[in-house]
Amino acid sequence: EDGLNGWLRYARLPCDIVKQANVPATIVALNATESSPVYTAGQELKKGIGGILGKTLDVTHETREGPSIVVGTINTFDGSSTIPELEEDGFWLSTQGDTVEIIGQNERGALYGAFEYLSMLAQANFTGVAYATNPSAAIRWVNQWDNMDGTIERGYAGLSIFFKDNVTISNTTRVEQYARLLASIRVNGIIINNVNANPIILSDDNMAGLGKIADAMRPWGVKLGISLNFASPQTFGGLASFDPLDETVIAWWNSTTDKLYEHVPDLAGFLVKANSEGQPGPITYNRTLSEGANMFARAAKPHGGIVMFRAFVYDYQTLNESNWKDDRANAAVDFFRELDGRFDDNVVVQVKYGPIDFQVREPTSPLFAHLRQTASAIELQVAQEYLGQQCHLVYLPPLWKTVLNFDLRVDGEKSVVGTDILSGKRFNKKGLTGYAAVVNVGQNTTWLGSHLAMSNLYAYGRIAWDPTDDEVAILEDWTRLTFGLDNTVRETITRMSMASWPAYENYTGNLGIQTLTDITGPHYGPNPQSMDNNPWGQWTRADADSIGMDRTVSNGTGYAGQYPADVAALYEDIETTPDELLLWFHHVPYTHVLKSGKTVIQHFYDAHYAGAETAATFPQQWAKLQGLMDQQRFEETAFRLTYQAGHAIVWRDSINQFYHNVSGIPDSQNRVGNHPWRIEAETMDLQGYRVTAVTPFEVASGLQIVQTIDNS
Ligand code: BDP
């Protein structure tokens, strides 16, 4: 199997299990229009039950006598059940009695219910259930970072399924397949182009192409949206300016938006990255970010569209690494705090989960506490940009949950990010809050570049629907759906996945120091020396004696003070700051003793060994699954896990050696710098190469490197 069907394989259950299933012989899909999600649901039920149970069912579109599987909306259903109140996209599922009822609040909900029923059948769960379920939030989107030329920014699975050579792709087969996967996890919207947007997406041809893409996804209830480049009126429209208060600019966006809606009448809306990392924005004209966002909001409003305006705004050119007070972590709140209440009501501010950038561990973004009159959505990242880029198994929900379960204590009241804030309940914004995840699937048949990485996409949808959903239960469902019902397979994948994020944190960056990766390059592999003096503001402040960013109010950058009082006090005080975020908030000597009783430096050493040891068990654990699944996915995964085990050692030794060199403090277990089996290149006989000292010295284990004689 090549992974193309993801968790929707509908593999035949064993005969003895099939016998236990009692499924009605007819499907009644209460909509005969082929592009409707209810029609799709009927077809999907037929396909799924055909696969899982080997039964061929008829699909009709009219209610009939006798047992059946009825799928439709609450408006079209005339069955006898009393259905609890359903919210937008919610559904009722009853498998009790002769008739299976799958009733959505809308068409999308009905389709979600059909997938839910199929998920139960595929997992051989034939129990009678009757319940209603509603989403925690209305916005459950994915963001693709696809470039118009067909490449994908931070994409690890080949070229785009949406674009090629600056135009939309005409064959929409993969688009439909992707929409099917998204619908099955209740994702209802997708932005298909990079936040670093190319205005050429607005060409006539591309608008027509967007229409086709939207048509391909509509039967699955997935709405299309696009990223916009703020400077488009000038760079694409030929106007003299892109000032958001200029009448000609406003008129240009209005007519461009109207045109877009002619092609895509149900366009979900826009995503905008402005004044960040070189992107243009309203600040270019001394206008506020809200004035910029509102310009798009007003163009989209008559069509029912929304604007997801990103809070990832920081000016990397003005960050000055020699000034202790400058701190990129402060940027989002500094920019947006004053603007709360000044955004139109169809603007949603999309906030990355932490204040920097998708690190292996970050504290919850404090901005969620400041957007009281403005709707907010969280931005997660399924693409593992800083987390091993799909070459490492890293199951992400435990990381996401550190943020979603965090209580920001706004005004001293319970304000849990997932259930209170993103649900819209805390600040009365229901209907316009939620979730976005950077996903970046590509043409590779595994979608993400790795079979196991798909558990993150699956889990994302489940968690956006219900942030209290248990990450282990989600993983077990995904495993059964993806690899079948074998207990060893499920237990092994669950054990490995649940150990994977802690292991990755252990062998990359601990105690809140961030992922110690190559900041200026691909964000892959160890490169702690790049974590200071870089223009991106991702700093560790490591020197020969001490490490960590002091972000206290009393002595540091003041970031801790961006949180509501209870949380601010927690992080201000080194005693109450949890070890796992110590170096995010405080600058301490390497000899500082943690709550665990270890020094910071010894914790670094030990954690890196522990993480690599865990990764070393992955290929061994996986090897035991041979024969319990198809050979292709077994081998492809074995290859990646073996690579990960090796790369974890590279991480371990690079980081440990680096801090050993910087601090000069020996490892109490005498491992760091002492690998009897390790052969340094500079100790070998060299031809055509020479050994030189390296600057800075701490980057090489022996303080020396090997260079070609001609210096190339
Ligand atoms: C960073 C990525 C960069 C993105 C940026 C963003 O490295 O490629 O453009 O975030 O989210 O993490 O805008």
Handedness of CA 132, 107, 183, 137 (dihedral sign): negative
Q: Whose CA is nearest to atom 12 of ligand 1?
A: 357
Between the CA of 49 and the centroid of ligand 1 the distance, in Å, is 42
Q: Which one-letter DSSP state was computed for residue 90?
A: -
87, 277, 321, 636: which one is catalytic? 277
Ligand 1 closest atom vs CA 195 = 13
Ligand 1 closest atom vs CA 358 = 12
CA-to-CA distance for 314 and 527, rounded, in angstroms? 23
Confirm or reject: Cβ of 195 under 6 Å from ligand 1: yes
Confirm or reject: Cβ of 164 under 6 Å from ligand 1: no
Task: Decide: 523 and 386 in contact? Cβ < 8 Å.
Answer: yes
Q: Is there a catalytic annotation at residue 357?
A: yes
Ligand 1 closest atom vs CA 386 = 12
Between the CA of 521 and the centroid of ligand 1 the distance, in Å, is 12
Confirm or reject: Cβ of 572 under 6 Å from ligand 1: no
Phi, psi angles (nearest 5°) of residue 60? -120, 175
Between the CA of 45 and the centroid of ligand 1 the distance, in Å, is 39
AA identity, residue 494: T
Q: Whose CA is nearest to atom 13 of ligand 1?
A: 195
CA distances (Å), 603 to each of 96, 387, 611, in order? 55, 21, 12
Confirm or reject: Cβ of 358 under 6 Å from ligand 1: yes
Confirm or reject: Cβ of 336 under 6 Å from ligand 1: no
CA-to-CA distance for 61 and 46, rounded, in angstroms? 13
Confirm or reject: Cβ of 518 under 6 Å from ligand 1: no
Minimal CA–CA distance to 111: which of 268, 220, 266? 220
Confirm or reject: Cβ of 598 under 6 Å from ligand 1: no
Confirm or reject: Cβ of 379 under 6 Å from ligand 1: no
Confirm or reject: Cβ of 273 under 6 Å from ligand 1: yes
Per-residue pLDDT at 324: 44
Confirm or reject: Cβ of 328 under 6 Å from ligand 1: no
Between the CA of 52 and the centroid of ligand 1 the distance, in Å, is 41
CA-to-CA distance for 582 and 509, rounded, in angstroms? 12
Per-residue pLDDT at 430: 87
Between the CA of 145 and the centroid of ligand 1 the distance, in Å, is 9
Ligand 1 closest atom vs CA 153 = 8
Ligand 1 closest atom vs CA 523 = 7
89, 116, 357, 477: which one is catalytic? 357
CA atoms within 13 A on the CB side of 219: 19
Ligand 1 pocket check: which of 357, 379, 517, 520 to mutate, most ligand atoms within 8 Å of Cβ?
A: 357
Between the CA of 342 and the centroid of ligand 1 the distance, in Å, is 26
379, 385, 653, 698: which one is catalytic? 385
Rounded to a whole number of angstroms, the CA Rg of the chain reads 26
CA-to-CA distance for 438 and 287, rounded, in angstroms? 28
- Ordered by where they begin, the domains of the chain are 15-133 (3.30.379.10), 139-470 (3.20.20.80), 484-549+587-667 (3.90.1330.10), 679-712 (no CATH)
Spatial neighbors of 247 by CB under 8 A, at least 6 apart, are none
Any idea which residue has 């030189």 for tokens?
Answer: 692
Confirm or reject: Cβ of 383 under 6 Å from ligand 1: no
The counts of H helices and E strands in the chain are: 17, 20
Between the CA of 438 and the centroid of ligand 1 the distance, in Å, is 10
CA distances (Å), 394 to each of 73, 387, 397, 456, 482, in order? 38, 7, 9, 9, 17
Q: Is there a catalytic annotation at residue 379?
A: no
Ligand 1 closest atom vs CA 357 = 12
Q: Whose CA is nearest to atom 10 of ligand 1?
A: 357
Ligand 1 closest atom vs CA 276 = 13
Q: Which one-letter DSSP state was computed for residue 484?
A: -
Task: Decide: 184 and 142 in contact? Cβ < 8 Å.
Answer: no
Task: Decide: 386 and 515 in contact? Cβ < 8 Å.
Answer: yes
Confirm or reject: Cβ of 151 under 6 Å from ligand 1: no
Question: Is this complex scored with an ipTM above 0.90?
Answer: yes
Task: Decide: 151 and 163 in contact? Cβ < 8 Å.
Answer: no
- pLDDT block averages, 10 residues each, the chain of length 712: 98 97 96 96 98 97 92 90 94 95 98 98 97 98 98 98 98 98 98 98 98 98 98 98 98 98 98 95 96 98 98 76 70 95 98 98 98 98 97 98 98 98 95 96 98 98 98 98 98 98 98 94 92 87 96 95 98 98 98 97 98 98 98 98 96 94 96 81 91 81 84 54
Ligand 1 pocket check: which of 142, 191, 195, 198 to mutate, most ligand atoms within 8 Å of Cβ?
A: 195
Between the CA of 102 and the centroid of ligand 1 the distance, in Å, is 40
